[in-house]
Amino acid sequence: AQTVTQSQPEMSVQEAETVTLSCTYDTSESDYYLFWYKQPPSRQMILVIRQEAYKQQNATENRFSVNFQKAAKSFSLKISDSQLGDAAMYFCAYGEETSGSRLTFGEGTQLTVNP
Amino acid sequence: KAGVTQTPRYLIKTRGQQVTLSCSPISGHRSVSWYQQTPGQGLQFLFEYFSETQRNKGNFPGRFSGRQFSNSRSEMNVSTLELGDSALYLCASSLEPYSGNTIYFGEGSWLTVV
């Protein structure tokens, strides 16, 4: 079974600084998708960024970017110019072409942004 | 456009009772999936429905069931509630059952079993 591991239960960053959240996954598939979701105190999961495994170029969305290392099965999230509103639980997730919209989530990383 | 809507948002049930949670997907979305979130087990996939058919099922006992209606709205039911069923139940929708589609989540239904 596919597994997703986030080894950092908690991280903190100063406002305006940069922070990187780590994620590794295990799969034998070649076609898959990776996601970072943010879960603020409201508990609604919000998609931050997604990466298709067949694309070598790392995805970026404004201040959010990923470092996708397919061979190493690593998918880290970099948040630049951190803002107070970035404080949340961040989940790394994995989805396969053949598994519909079923996602496998990591344990999550609680990000604190200090003013 | 309205997001994924889940009702009720909060509920308290007694051990042994049953509960039904409802999810209305984003308009036009035909795939609905359900997740259970607990502090101990994290986010776990329950099941996925598309065109009123269950397409995927997670590793949960038969007490957990669901269905989807012709308008894509979905319900999940948990019978004979146990204390361990206390959790946040999240519903998600997408256009089709395909990981390449963006999956949108609702705010969840908080279930407390006492």
- Residue B56 tokens read as 């995927």
3-state SS, residue B31: strand
Q: How far apart are CA A3 and CA A35, in angstroms?
A: 14
**A29 pLDDT exceeds 70?**
yes
Contacts of A46 in chain B (CB under 8 A): 105
Name which of A2-16, A43-57, B90-104 the model is least confident about.
Answer: B90-104
pLDDT score for B1: 64
Neighbours of A56 (CB within 10 A): 8
DSSP 3-state of A43: coil
- Shortest Cα distance from A40 to chain B (angstroms)? 10
Cβ within 8 Å, pair B99-A100: yes
Of B50, B103, B108, the CB nearest to A103: B103
User: pLDDT tens for residues A64-106?
Assistant: 999 999 999 999 999 999 999 999 999 999 998 778 889 999 9
B55: chain A residues, CB-CB within 8 Å: 100
pLDDT (0 to 100) of residue B43: 95
Is B92 in Cβ contact with A100 (below 8 Å)?
Answer: no
The closest of B22, B12, B13, B32 to B108, measured between CA atoms, is B22
C-beta atoms of A43 and B88 within 8 A: yes
Return the half-sphere exposure (C-beta side, CA atoms, 13 A cut-off) of residue A108.
21
Q: Do B98 and A103 touch (CB under 8 A)?
A: no
The pLDDT value recorded for residue B100 is: 77
Contact with chain B for residue A101, Cβ under 8 A: yes
Specify the pLDDT at position A56.
Answer: 86
The predicted pLDDT at position B62 comes to 96
Note whether A91 contacts B: Cβ–Cβ < 8 A.
Answer: yes
Closest residue of chain B to A96, computed from CA coordinates:
B99
Q: Is the pLDDT of residue A114 over 90?
A: yes
C-alpha distance from residue B80 to each of A12, B11, B112 (Å): 42, 15, 13
Provide block-wise average pLDDT over 10 residues at a time, chain B (114 residues).
91 98 96 95 95 94 97 97 98 86 93 98
pLDDT digits (tens, 9 = 90+) for B68-93: 999 999 999 999 999 999 999 999 99
pLDDT of residue B98: 78
- Identify which of A77, A71, A101 has the alpha carbon closest to the alpha carbon of residue A91: A77
Is it the case that residue A1 has pLDDT exceeding 70? no
